[in-house]
Structure 1
């Protein structure tokens, strides 16, 4: 069946109890504080951050087996039995050692022609994710079973971004699959409570102080904003309910070119895409340096690999592109990226003070509202065509590229946000932007310019300005800042 209303009816609830486990409260870790700030800012729109996943259950899977596997996950990972709230001295996480989680069961109606398919399951998951978590009262994951003829078919999970980040969701998906197969898993070495305490003293605190010092030095001379110009006349009004728009570039040519450039310059394809996003924005907004915030996973230590928890923070990426080609910028992008990630773990409240201090010294508020996030699980594409050394073949491949509208929102805390998820046979490059400054045709033009930089750099030297030459740029009146 494929009824996008899922065609299920609630058939009851199941309880997943836990008891006798470690409990306690502590200040939120820095990663938890970082996402807490964004979730609090979005308020009732914070469902934007919810992470919905569907798991196809093999034939013969028993409901009891699913409940047992979920119980094991909850026991293993304290983030799944934690609440989050503002305390007297700041944001606090509280881990419960006793309690229960609830799994709602939704059955196909008796006259359903067949079990729900993946489209149905995803539609159900999207509805379950459509309301924000009550983080002070509700544990950080919602669970549902979709059944047909009494047998479980799909497990639906919605994870609060406050409970964990994308890496942690992948840990949960991997462990759940293994638990459903009956495998035994070793203990989890490190939990968010441990991470929060580690950051208060010793090496963790020292690393945080070094990051704050690095940011303060860098921000004192970096461009204060990429959006220091008068918004174009055709830009959206500030209160437009569809002010923030996301488009997607689907480009096989972009993927082929990114891999070729990565091989030539001995960098990752992630560095290639990041550099394209950075220099395109800088060239368009009239800056000789790009300033982007990268989403840093901060999972370099082995003990953090299996931790389910919010660990990501922003890393500061500043790249000078000058008048050279894209490949020139790309060769400098690798070390810049490594430096950014090195200083991506810090106390967010202390970082706010850094921003304020630098802003006062420069006589203007800093506007760090441009982001890049590579959420792919691998650096290469699996099934790309071989264009050889024929430049016409790669250019012809670009003719198949498409730009699609994905969605719009009234509020976002970014003016320019590029992200790329994994796809085996094509570059999927998303750009969400503030149409008050970057109208929809400009958003599409920036995506096309990134693709041009990739494709045309394979067989020649292309500057960011040349890649943007087909765009009609709005007139900009820049705010004077000799250091920008």
Structure 2
């Protein structure tokens, strides 16, 4: 029989303060505001399995330390006549549930609780961007459920927070953070930070002048049940092939997957030049690598996939990608002005809803099947390829979104598409085209013209 109690911990940080939202916070704020009550889509959940013999006191102390150390977790967010602001409090309390699961059901209970917590949209003006729950199994603390708002942190930060939580539970303390979101906001407002932002805005302006205003025909933006569909593909063959191409071209496998996204999208839409928005983590130095905050912004990437070989496109993608990521830290309001000008210049048309996001923290797969990267060697692996349904939504702020996550022995590739533009029955066909292209080009360069769709 499951029972639920609550606990409250008090936290104290070094300072309180108010500042403009950072550029990274403004970037995700725009999407969160657009989704409204559906903004829980951006929430991030993690479940930390606790070491044996973890006490309730250790859990309380770890949560207290985590909140005290990181201002992002003690922040509320506001938008009014004075603009978009972040307000950090130095003290507060966190109330969280303690769930006693039936013996042996702790992991399942934690997964269910995580699903419930992540499905609640944060009220950012009223609550901090963090909630949690403790699951006890057989009377002992067994699993700590952590849920974060993407406005408070990004995936990079979540990885750091999970590692730090594990350390705090065993009594380890890292050096105190010396760079917080309030400091980042100050950096962006003047000097070097402001100059980098201005250079990035200029890069967006120049790049938009050379990219097509739209790849897809115009469609309405009305939400309809299951209009947006995401499928996933589990393909060991694609991983082996992408690795072979990366080694031949001397680039990362992420660059290979990026080039494949442009090639497949270009083939589907019939456009030789394909713009994509990439998700840039914007962690360029030690202080930002240690910063717990929402830092990610979109990078504007454009690639010519109209002629030549896929290897040549991969090499072009490397240089274009580096340039895009270099110019991905900017004031979103300033870039919005550039986008408005480009749209006006194009007669009211500007479509940039095509994305690629490599969410892996590893570039190479660590446990790939040991087979030759040739069509003959990869053919048996393609029979193991699995395509599966992930989810569907009425509304999304993207038209074509490819992302990848990590597994040691296979490529996990996902495609979310607007079925008004890629019919539901064709989403799987487009996703499988990635594997087809990579396998075909694994042993030797393949012509981009080989990527075709019968429509």
TM-score w.r.t. structure 1 length? Answer: 0.91
Name which of 48, 51, 57 aligns with 1:58: 51
Is 1:312 matched with 2:296? Answer: yes
Is 1:140 matched with 2:129? Answer: yes
Q: Secondary structure at the match of 1:127?
A: helix
Name which of 250, 255, 261 aligns with 1:266: 250
Name which of 229, 241, 254 aligns with 2:225: 241
Q: How does 1:72-87 map to 2 (within 5 A)?
A: 72-87=65-80
> Which string of whole-angstrom CA distances, capped at 9 and with x for unpartnered residues, describes residues 247-283 of structure 1?
0011000000111111110000000011101111012
What is the root-mean-square deviation of aligned Cα atoms in Å? 1.6
Name which of 388, 396, 402 aligns with 2:372: 388
- Once residues 413 and 406 of structure 2 are traced to their aligned partners in structure 1, the CA distance between those partners, rounded to angstroms, is 10
TM-score w.r.t. structure 2 length? Answer: 0.97
Q: Which residue of 2 is the match for residue 178 of structure 1? A: 167
Q: Which residue of 2 is the match for residue 160 of structure 1? A: 149
> Which string of whole-angstrom CA distances, capped at 9 and with x for unpartnered residues, describes residues 217-262 of structure 1?
1101201111136x7xxxx995421100000011000000111111
1:465 is displaced (CA, Å) by 4.0
Q: Secondary structure at the match of 1:403?
A: strand
- Once residues 3 and 39 of structure 2 are traced to their aligned partners in structure 1, the CA distance between those partners, rounded to angstroms, is 27
Q: How does 1:214-363 map to 2 (within 5 A)?
A: 214-228=203-217, 238-363=222-347
Q: Which residue of 2 is the match for residue 441 of structure 1? A: 425
1:19 is displaced (CA, Å) by 3.1
1:389 is displaced (CA, Å) by 5.5
Is 1:412 matched with 2:364? Answer: no
Q: Secondary structure at the match of 1:101?
A: strand
Q: Which residue of 2 is the match for residue 23 of structure 1? A: 16
Larger mean CA deviation between 114-123 and 399-408 belongs to 114-123
- Once residues 363 and 281 of structure 1 are traced to their aligned partners in structure 2, the CA distance between those partners, rounded to angstroms, is 24
- Once residues 260 and 400 of structure 1 are traced to their aligned partners in structure 2, the CA distance between those partners, rounded to angstroms, is 19
Q: Which residue of 2 is the match for residue 482 of structure 1? A: none
Contact 1:52-1:157 within 8 A present in 2 as well: yes
- Once residues 390 and 26 of structure 1 are traced to their aligned partners in structure 2, the CA distance between those partners, rounded to angstroms, is 56
Contact 1:222-1:289 within 8 A present in 2 as well: yes
Q: Which residue of 1 is the match for residue 107 of structure 2? A: 118
- Total equivalences in the alignment: 455
Is 1:366 matched with 2:350? Answer: yes
Is 1:424 matched with 2:408? Answer: yes
Contact 1:237-1:243 within 8 A present in 2 as well: no
- Once residues 222 and 195 of structure 2 are traced to their aligned partners in structure 1, the CA distance between those partners, rounded to angstroms, is 41
Runs of 4+ in 1 over 3 A off after TM superposition: 236-239
Q: Secondary structure at the match of 2:189?
A: coil
Q: Which residue of 2 is the match for residue 472 of structure 1? A: 454
Is 1:38 matched with 2:68? Answer: no
1:213 is displaced (CA, Å) by 0.6
Structure 1 alignment gaps of length 5 or more: 1-6, 474-484
Q: Which residue of 2 is the match for residue 130 of structure 1? A: 119
